Amino acid sequence: MQRAFIELLKGDIMESFKTFPALIPMMALMVFLGLHLKFKFKKGAFYITILFIFTAVIITTNYIYKLIINY
């Protein structure tokens, strides 16, 4: 995740995505969570749950993919 973040700071979005695909959705989740805590969106908790599930699926899929590729 750290290498992906560094690649993102360098502006290399594709390399960041290849290194850790869940970084961008995870960052979006954190930003939306902060905004929801500040502004109390009407359906904010629902959207946070959806973003969390989406991010968890990406992390799990990436983990399984890397396990299969290494064998």
Q: What digits encode the pLDDT tens for the residues 17-39? A: 999 999 999 999 999 999 999 99
pLDDT average, residue stretch 44-71: 94
Q: Which residues of 5-27 are buried (b: 16+ CB within 10 A; e: fewer)?
A: eebbeeeeeeebeebbbbbbbbe
pLDDT average, residue stretch 40-65: 96
pLDDT at 70: 83
Residue 10 above 80 pLDDT? yes
